[in-house]
Amino acid sequence: MTTRTLRVLILGGYGAVGAPTTAALREAGHLCLTAGRDPHRADRPVDLTRPDDYRAALEGIDVVVNASGAEDPALVEIAADRGAAFVDATATTGYIARVERLTPRAPVLLSVGLAPGLTNLLAADLHAAHPGDDPIDVAVILGAGEAHGAAATAWTIGLIGRSFADPATGEPVRNLSRGAVFDLPGQGRRRLLRADFSDQHALTRDLGRPVRTHLGLDSPALTRGLGLLARLPGAGRLSKVPHLPGSDAWTVAARSGPRLRRARGRGQSRATALLTAHAVGLAADLPPGVHHLHRITTLTDLPALPGITLDVTTRA
């Protein structure tokens, strides 16, 4: 991890994830510039649909963090051509696949948030300690009461009514269906829903064993409601998700048989920001090319991050 001061451009740096990422990087001593369309909030106002604007904003930048929700591989290529590393916490499988096909001239680091990101490290640590070919099931439980940013809301809505190919079998899987049961110590028995997070695709390929990701909300009733909503005709045409009752508590876990790796905390956006800020320091020293977090670091190398608790158990 680099010890030098970096000049970081944060796309969407005043948003739900971008703002705490900016704060965390500045606290670590890096020079951060926010970028976005709002000239009153952005240090470098930029319209990401205008390549010349974006190129100008990259002047003198070491690392670009994409917290804008924009999923355009051209943003990666333009930054890399200017010699800037690119860090992106997106969970969108299709976008990740397009970025993986690039041959960038600078490092690109993906899977750096909670899911993907911390989930990748949990599953990879479980695999390293207990290798095999039996499935690893990943749980992602999010606080329904947290006010999520526009990008996270749009991503969740985008799951509804769509299917994806299971990364191990190729079988079509309908989002928010086919629940799996997790027994989480201190949290009880939870049935969660399959969801197309990108982590399961990268991990299945890299670990050589099936990995399946499941989504739930902190309320079991709301999780069941999410599954019912996904079955309603036309639900995929929703433009927004109403604010729901609940907490801001989150849990991510990886399970194989009786073995479990788990992380917990409060405030998904804050946790994603802390993990992304940590990833920035790693990305700066990587060789050119596309990398995932679990390929370049391990769970044991992760520093203590405020508000994030790690658990390792043998019963699940």
What residue ranges define each of the domains in the chain, with the CATH number in brackets?
A: 7-112+271-298 (3.40.50.720), 118-267+306-313 (3.30.360)
Can you give the pTM of this predicted structure? 0.93
- Nearest to 57, CA basis, from 109, 108, 7, 95: 7
- Nearest to 132, CA basis, from 121, 123, 122: 123
Helical pair 199-207 and 118-129, crossing angle rounded to 10 deg:
20
Q: In this structure, how many other beta carbons lie within 10 angstroms of the beta carbon of residue 291?
A: 23
Q: Is 58 left (phi over 0), alpha (psi -120 to 50) or beta?
A: alpha
pLDDT of residue 161: 81
Range list of H helices, the chain: 18-27, 51-57, 73-81, 93-100, 118-129, 150-159, 199-207, 220-230, 268-283, 293-296
Q: Strand, coil or helix: what is 305?
A: coil
- Taking 50 as the pLDDT cut, the residues of the chain under it are 316
Q: How far apart are CA 120 and CA 268, in angstroms?
A: 16
